[in-house]
Amino acid sequence: MKEIITIIGMWSICACAGRVNQDQLTLEGDWIYIKDSSEISTITDAGLRFSNDTLLPLGSSMFWPSSHYILKQDSIIFEDFDGKKSFYLILNHQPDSLTLSLNGHIERYYNRQLEYNSRLQLDSIILKTGWCFGDCPEFTMTFHPSGSSQFRGIRDTKFIGERKLTVERDRLNKIDSLFKWSYIDHLDTTEYYSAIDGWSTGIILYYNENQVKRVEGTMMNMPFRLKPIIWELVVFLKEEKMI
């Protein structure tokens, strides 16, 4: 909570400073929604990603579609879920903060660049998968930043049993970078990130020698900051013909 208050304070300072020359600013990147304390919504992580001419809502759900957008003066024009034209009105845009209005509702965001933490050191990851409505691979993988990893195929995997694996350097570096962007200290571990018919998934992250976070849910509904890490491990196991 202290960090969120700090971020809101930074936003307030930027807002008072007035609008920066728009020619020097870009919407490109991830913008994280600042939830108002009066909101009843249970959404714990959400935001917007601007990439080239595509607008993608960020969140744990896999069912939020991307949309083509056009930036026209102080408006972001895009298509909503029904294919109808909608627009955000840009009220304030600073390098690390963004204030938008959608149908009269004010939304405040901070730039995800503020979440990067170079001091995060990953010690190990345990990834477990299980049941689903179908033939989902059930396995356990223990990953170490050194590259040494252990796989145990349990059911519906191409390899049944235990096997030692070595993760290549490029992928190790990528996972390390993704972890530093994970905002792991602020992750809500009390929530079960799931869909009714999803692929049961659990991940345990050990870091900074004595810290640990456990998250459970279903594969496509896991926190969006952790999905790239999980997917890197899953793709690796597919390439190794384990699953």
Asked if the model's pLDDT at residue 101 lies above 80, the reply is yes
Q: What is the dihedral of CA 145, 146, 148, 151, to 10 degrees?
A: 0
Q: How confident is the model at residue 164 (pLDDT cuts 50, 70, 90)?
A: very high
DSSP string over 96-163 = TEEEEEETTEEEEEEEGGGG--TT--EEEEEEEE---SS---EEEEEE-TTSEEEEEEEESSSS-EEE
Q: Tell whether 129 and 216 lie within a shared domain.
A: yes
Collect all residues with Cβ–Cβ distance below 8 Å to 88 and sequence separation of at least 6.
Answer: 75, 76, 78, 100, 101, 102, 107
17 vs 36, which has greater pLDDT?
36
- The pLDDT tens digits of the residues spanning 108-130 come to 999 999 999 999 999 999 999 99
Q: Tell whether 91 and 63 lie within a shared domain.
A: yes
Domain end among 114, 130, 146: 114
- The domain containing residue 226 runs over which residues? 122-239
pLDDT at 35: 85
Token pair 């356990």 is found at 140
- What's the mean pLDDT in 77-102? 90
The two tokens of residue 143 are: 């990953």
CATH number, domain at 72? 2.40.128.370
